[in-house]
Amino acid sequence: MQNQKQLTALQKAFEDSGLKYHELANMVGISKSYCYKIINYNLRVYYDVAVKISNVLGKETDILFNEQEKNFEYEVSLGETKGGEKNEPITSFATSSK
């Protein structure tokens, strides 16, 4: 029996879409490498990018990026994040909409 990692909601939606990384990246307006990192490494992502990805994949933002949100909250609890005045990574998708 193979030991397979469970897919995140984002990975599953991307896989189900049939898109390639460069196709999604072009549709969203980001680089292919950034797109790959967002999908495969639970990379923190700016809200506007998360919404664009969600819209392309036809899913709710809060559902697709739940794992990233949890990861960010954990990093905050450990004091491992940096803040900025503008374009801070999201901390919650609870009030987001498509």
- Closest by CA to 38, choosing from 75, 71, 81, 73, is 71
- Segment 38-44 mean pLDDT: 83
What digits encode the pLDDT tens for the residues 58-74? 999 989 988 776 655 54
- The topology under which CATH files domain 9-78 is 434 Repressor (Amino-terminal Domain) (1.10.260)
Average pLDDT, the chain: 78
